[in-house]
Amino acid sequence: MTPPPGFAVPDQTRPIDVDKLCAEMPADAFVRGMYMQGVLTLLERAGKKLDGHGPYIAFKEYHVINHVRLIADAAPALYPKEPLRRAMNLLGRDAYGTLVDSMIGRVIFGVLGRDIVRITKLVGKAYEVSGRGVTATLLEIGSNHSHVRIDGAYGLVDCYHLGAFEGLCDACGRSCVIYTKQTDRGGELFTVWSDASQ
C-alpha cells in the first residue's frame, strides 16, 4: 500500500521546540488526566520521579499545555538515549492502553478485542472522550490501512500521536508503517499494517 502524495516517514531526530509548541496550542484544548497520570505511572515503574507534576484526576480536564510540558519532561527521563522527538513518540505508545484501561475505554473498546479495523473506525470517538480541542477524523479505512486527520495537535502528530497509533497496532498484534503529513491545524497519519508475524 502506497501512501497518498505529500506523506513521508517522519524524521524522529528533528529538534522539537517545546516552548513554541506550547505557544501554538489552542486555548480551548484540554486532555483528560488519565493520560497524564499514566505518564506518572510509567515513571514510577521505572523508578523515576518528576517534581512539579501531578497527581492528576483521571476524568478531570487539564489544559493541553500541561500535558505537553509533562511529556516533554518525562520522555527524556524514560528514554535518555533518544532524541526528544523520538522519546515523545515512544511515550505516546502508551496512550491507547491508557484509554482502553479506563472505565469509558472498556465500555467503548472492550468488545472489539484486537480488531484494528473496528477500533480505528471509532478514532473520532476515542479523541472525543479523551479531551476537548483536539479531534480526529477517519478519512479512509481498508483491511490493511487507515487515513486519519488530527486537528488541534500542533507539532505533536508526527511524534506523540504517531506513537499512539503505533501502540494501537501493537495492541492488535500488527506491525505497521506510519506516514505523516503536516497540516495547518495538526497533521494526517496514513497507517499501513500487517500481521506482526509477517
How many helical (H) and strand (E) elements, i.e. helices and strands, does the chain have? 9, 7
C-alpha to C-alpha distances, 48 to 65, 89, 158, nearest whole angstrom = 22, 19, 26
User: Do residues 101 and 108 make contact, with C-beta atoms less than 8 angstroms apart?
Assistant: no
User: Do residues 159 and 89 make contact, with C-beta atoms less than 8 angstroms apart?
Assistant: yes
Query: Is pLDDT of 198 > 50?
Result: no
Supply φ then ψ for residue 8, to 5 degrees.
-155, 160
As a whole number, mean pLDDT of residues 69-75 equals 96
Residue 13 lies in a domain: no
The pLDDT, as a whole number, for residue 65 is 94
The pLDDT, as a whole number, for residue 185 is 85
Domain extent, residue 122, equals 18-195
Residue 191 lies in a domain: yes
Residue 156 lies in a domain: yes
Residue 98 lies in a domain: yes
CA distance 102 to 89: 21
CA distance 154 to 150: 9
Residue 2 lies in a domain: no
> Phi-psi region for residue 150, left (φ > 0), alpha (ψ -120 to 50) or beta?
beta
User: Do residues 96 and 123 make contact, with C-beta atoms less than 8 angstroms apart?
Assistant: no
Q: What is the CATH number of the domain that holds 35?
A: 3.90.1520.10
Residue 11 lies in a domain: no
Number of domains in the chain: 1
Q: For 119-156, how does the pLDDT look when each residue is reduced to its tens digit (9 = 90+)?
A: 999 999 999 999 999 999 999 999 999 999 999 888 89
